Amino acid sequence: MRNIVILISGSGSNMAAIVSAAEQGRWGQRLNARVAAVLSNRADAQGLAFACDHGIATQVLDHKTFASREAFDAALMAEIDRYAPALVVLAGFMRILTPGFVAHYAGRLLNVHPSLLPAFPGLNTHQRAIDAGCRFAGATVHQVTAELDHGAILAQAVVPVLLDDTPDTLAARVLTQEHLIYPQAVAEFLAQSPMRSNRG
């Protein structure tokens, strides 16, 4: 059984979508994968309760208790590697990862970003799309590289930008699409890597 470890910082709605897809058998037996653990840098992350309710191991590592980003990432890697993950999934994990962390999980680290990359990397994507007069926005699932919100694009979904949209209404419309494309992208990534073994 190949393990997936998911990192969250808040509600974990994308994590929940991935867990639900796995539990409901939408991935099929051929993937032989499960969400083994959910880790967070915030003890108050609401998604931890969902993971616990579904029998998934959880762990909190408070980044504020570490002297540096490198020290936090080293501790996070040690915790993740306990599960020998075939895939590490970022689902609203609000930390910029160090190059060493990204290199450690090269080729098995995914993220979802609320824009149609390469447009609007970084924060405030919905306001920026509205301010730019975009007629369409969306979400992108991509492999993670050391450069923020870059890496090979695995899936995208497009939504219209409406005349009366606010950042919140646009974000809600985009999020519904994230919940659809992220579990599917995870499944397709694993299906294309059938011999990818758990590594420490």
As a whole number of angstroms, the distance between CA 91 and CA 37 comes to 13
Confidence band for 192, pLDDT divided at 50, 70 and 90: confident
Domains of the chain: 2-191 (3.40.50.170)
Residue 133 tokens, joined: 């007069």
Question: Has 113 been annotated as catalytic?
Answer: yes
**Given 54, 104, 113, 126, the catalytic residue:** 113
Instruction: List pLDDT tens digits, range 49-90.
Output: 999 999 999 999 999 999 999 999 999 999 999 999 999 999
The pairing of beta strand 2-8 with beta strand 33-40: parallel
CB 30 within 8 A of CB 191: yes
> What predicted TM-score, i.e. pTM, was given to this entire model?
0.93
